[in-house]
Amino acid sequence: MPHRTFFWFFFPSGLAMLLFIGLPIISSFFQSLHIEPEQILMEVEKCDPFGCKTETKVDIEATTKLQEEQPLGRFNGLGTYVDRNHLAFDEIKEAWTNSSSIPEFTDILLNLPFYKALLFTLTFCFAVTPPVVVLGFIVALSVNTITKSLKGPTIFGVILPMIVTPLIGSLVLFWMIDAKGILGSFIQFLFDDPNLSLKSSSQLTWITLIIYGIWHNTPFAFVVFYAALQTVPQDPIEAAIIDGASRYERVRHIVIPHLYPVATFIILICLMDNFRVLEPIIGFAAEGVAQSLSWMIYNDLRSENKMLFGSAGATSMLTIIGVAILLTPVLIRTWREFRTER
Amino acid sequence: MESKINRYSKQLILINSFFILAWLIVSVFPFIWTFWGSFKVKADFFSRADWMFAVTGVNTLIETGDTSTVKAYVESWTEGEFWKATMNTIIITVSVVTISLFLGTLGAYALSRSTYKYTFWILIAALIFRAMPHITLVSGYLFPFFQLNVWGILPTTIIVLVAINQPFTLWLLYSFFKTVPKELDESALIDGCSYFQAFRFVIMPVMWPGVVTAGLFSMMLAYNDFTVTSLLLNQQNYTMVPKINAYLGTIEHSGNYMWAVSSVVSATAPLFMIIMFFQRQLISGLTAGAVKG
């Protein structure tokens, strides 16, 4: 296809992506270099019959004028990146010199907002992914063996948790897990503790969120594994049966090796998607104990009168760096695939 | 797998059926429970005394005179203005699906037929764009949109969702067009068609299976989106998902909480219907990128 034709075919799609995905990243970066203008204070001398006092108060006129001149705020360089709410270099340095032991230092470190969020995000990613792969595989194997007429409805039932948006999915589970809901009461009954609530401690909330993550992501792994199972070659399996291999041995030595590439694909997609975890935190009302990087950005942008564009931009940039690290293996894989195709 | 040589033992079938049944309960029961509970009052759905109240509807009987009630539905749709959110969702979903398919088929067709190296880099860029968390993009939108005074309205959100959706649509349709034999449109070119005519008269009639799959995913993205819609729309223009979240913010009024429960059912039901019809396309789309690897 000549360049010219290609250009006109691709132009609308390319323009949309450039304007609304490429530019926002740049705009986000630009915002992160600025900080909201401080309010301009002025000293006013106030005199009453008992004498004169000087007071400081906000010069509203000058502040609005400054805001109009510089809507983005003043230039701050990388200041926002290193402040207390982000990388917090000063606080870390201070903690390092002041703390007497490593646990004390990590304790201080993990109480800084950014590192706390990073810890949760990574814990969520890496705790959800392995069970998802294993469960997805087992479910795919089982569905593959049931009668043909039952397959359709079964697959439909299994993929439901993936279809609903994470907010709705987490709400549905949250209402059941609530101390007054069915699962919550059951757990209380199980542990014989009428005050037990999954919301009561941060560990329990984290576990709940992770269980939600597994529930939501397993259908995806299932679907991919299930489709891949249809492509497993039959000849080696039949040969193995003749040679007397047990079902377990057949799965272990023929099916699983065939599915390795698919498994890596699932792992990478799962890690990437869970790195942006946001809605479950809102759905489970877990903001107090579990913040993710995405939630930090959401929180900065949520309040309507004072949005912290600078802070949100800086967190966005740091998140993008995280995504880039997770993405590298995918890119290398695609590169290889493409080279062999041509 | 169904050859005679590969029979399953009775034991295995038993364990297997048991496992599948258990898993189905785990994935389906929460929805059935919510559906059932949405016809009760809050005192039953979140019952302090006994969880069985949610099944039997004791308080619902006391409060409304019947064991189940559609009060929450009626109130959320009228007083809670859920009809408006539904309208907005329909407008956004239909527009996003139409526009992104239009842009996507053109772009992906070009990518699949061009033999130059830059197609590879475009696809890589699309892959990177696909991986961007939506919230990071939103943080880039807000400030310019405020300055341009286009924040809060539906068209802005539609364009943004179309753009966010493009990378995935491109990849999906790209791998689909790769399976359409090149000879088909090449022969049309030899017969004197322009590229656009070849696309219009030769490719378009055969591209529908791929387009349905891509459309299904666009629909799910637009319908399910929370991050973009909740931050880029103002309260009056909220779609279903942010609207449900807004109901939750007002917990003090116990009626409103059941609004959220009934709205969850109202929002999920149509989605499940659509998926029931298009399940095959959904699965083929999810596996398009994975299986050949």
CATH number at residue B181: 1.10.3720.10
Q: Are residues B121 and B47 in the same domain?
A: no
Measure the CA–CA gap between A310 and A85, rounded to whole angstroms: 11
User: Residue range A267-295: average pLDDT?
Assistant: 88
In CATH terms, is domain A115-341 a member of 3.40.50.1820? no
Nearest CA in chain B to A24: B140
In a domain, B222, yes or no: yes
Q: Are residues B5 and B48 in the same domain?
A: no
CA distances from B252 to A171, B138, B248 (A): 18, 30, 9
Q: Are residues B16 and B150 in the same domain?
A: no
pTM of the model: 0.86
Q: Are residues B196 and B267 in the same domain?
A: yes
Provide the pLDDT confidence category of residue B250 given band limits of 50, 70 and 90. Answer: low
Which of B69, B91, B123 terminates a domain? The answer is: B69
Which is more confident, A58 or B77?
A: B77
Nearest CA in chain A to B35: A172
Mutate to test the interface with B, among A134, A182, A297 (most CBs of B within 10 A): A182
**Which residues does chain A have within 8 Å of residue B289's beta carbon, measured at their own beta carbons?**
265
How is chain A split into domains, by residue range? 38-75, 77-105, 115-341
Q: Are residues B106 and B181 in the same domain?
A: yes
Sequential DSSP letters for A310-333 = HHHHHHHHHHHHHHHHHHHHHHHH
Q: Does B189 touch chain A (CB under 8 A)?
A: no
Q: Are residues B57 and B131 in the same domain?
A: no
A1-10, A96-105, A135-144: which is most confident: A135-144
Provide the pLDDT confidence category of residue B293 given band limits of 50, 70 and 90. Answer: very low
Q: Does A257 touch chain B (CB under 8 A)?
A: no
**How far does B65 lie from chain A, in Å, by closest CA?**
23
Provide the pLDDT confidence category of residue B292 given band limits of 50, 70 and 90. Answer: very low
Q: What is the ipTM of this complex?
A: 0.86
**Which residues does chain B have within 8 Å of residue A26's beta carbon, measured at their own beta carbons?**
140
pLDDT at B5 over 60: no
Which is more confident, A62 or A13?
A: A13
**Which residues does chain A have within 8 Å of residue B143's beta carbon, measured at their own beta carbons?**
27, 31, 71-72, 309
Q: Are residues B124 and B42 in the same domain?
A: no
Mutate to test the interface with A, among B25, B33, B138, B143 (most CBs of A within 10 A): B143
In a domain, B92, yes or no: yes
In a domain, B293, yes or no: no
Q: Are residues B91 and B200 in the same domain?
A: yes
Between chains, do B46 and A331 touch, taking CB under 8 Å as contact? no
Q: What pairing do the DSSP bridges indicate for beta strands A34-35 and A74-75?
A: antiparallel
Measure the CA–CA gap between B203 and B205, rounded to whole angstroms: 6
Measure the CA–CA gap between B198 and B181, rounded to whole angstroms: 13
Question: In A, residues 175-214, which contact B (CB 8 Å cutoff)?
Answer: 175-176, 178, 180-182, 185-186
pLDDT at B77 over 70: yes
Q: Could you say which of A1, A20, A241 has the minimum Cβ distance to residue B164?
A: A20
Structure confidence at residue B67 (pLDDT): 74
User: Residue range B21-32: average pLDDT?
Assistant: 91
Q: Are residues B60 and B102 in the same domain?
A: no
Provide the pLDDT confidence category of residue A167 given band limits of 50, 70 and 90. Answer: very high
Q: Are residues B274 and B146 in the same domain?
A: yes
Q: How many domains does chain B have?
A: 3
Between chains, do A13 and B114 touch, taking CB under 8 Å as contact? no
Q: Does A160 touch chain B (CB under 8 A)?
A: yes
In a domain, B261, yes or no: yes
Q: Does B279 touch chain A (CB under 8 A)?
A: yes
Question: Chain centroid to CA B163: how far?
Answer: 16
Which range is least confidently modeled, A230-234, A268-272, B5-9?
B5-9
In a domain, B252, yes or no: yes
Between chains, do B3 and A5 touch, taking CB under 8 Å as contact? no
Sequential DSSP letters for chain B = ---GGGPPPHHHHHHHHHHHHHHHHHHHHHHHHHHHHTTS-HHHHT-SS-TTHHHH-HHHHHHHSSS---HHHHHHHHTT-HHHHHHHHHHHHHHHHHHHHHHHHHHHHHHHH--STHHHHHHHHHHHHHHS-HHHHHHHHHHHHHHHT-TBSHHHHHHHHHHHHHHHHHHHHHHHHHHS-HHHHHHHHHTT--HHHHIIIIIGGG-HHHHHHHHHHHHHHHHH--HHHHHHB-GGG--HHHHHHHHHT-TTSHHHHHHHHHHHHHHHHHHHHHHHHHHHHHHHHHHTTTTT-
Q: Are residues B163 and B55 in the same domain?
A: no
Give backbone dihedrals phi and psi of B40, rounded to 5 degrees, phi first. -110, 175
**Which residues does chain A have within 8 Å of residue B290's beta carbon, measured at their own beta carbons?**
224, 227-228, 262, 265-266
- The percentage of residues in chain B with a pLDDT greater than 90, rounded to a whole number, is 23
Which is more confident, B229 or A61?
A: B229
Between chains, do B276 and A156 touch, taking CB under 8 Å as contact? yes
How large is the greatest C-alpha to C-alpha distance in chain B, in angstroms?
78
Q: Could you say which of A178, A298, A337 has the minimum Cβ distance to residue B46?
A: A178
**Which residues does chain B have within 8 Å of residue A301's beta carbon, measured at their own beta carbons?**
138-139, 142, 231
Q: Are residues B190 and B279 in the same domain?
A: yes
CA distances from B51 to A184, A265, B24, B68, B253 (A): 9, 42, 22, 16, 22
Q: Does B136 touch chain A (CB under 8 A)?
A: yes
Residue B3 lies in domain: 1-34
Between chains, do B16 and A182 touch, taking CB under 8 Å as contact? no
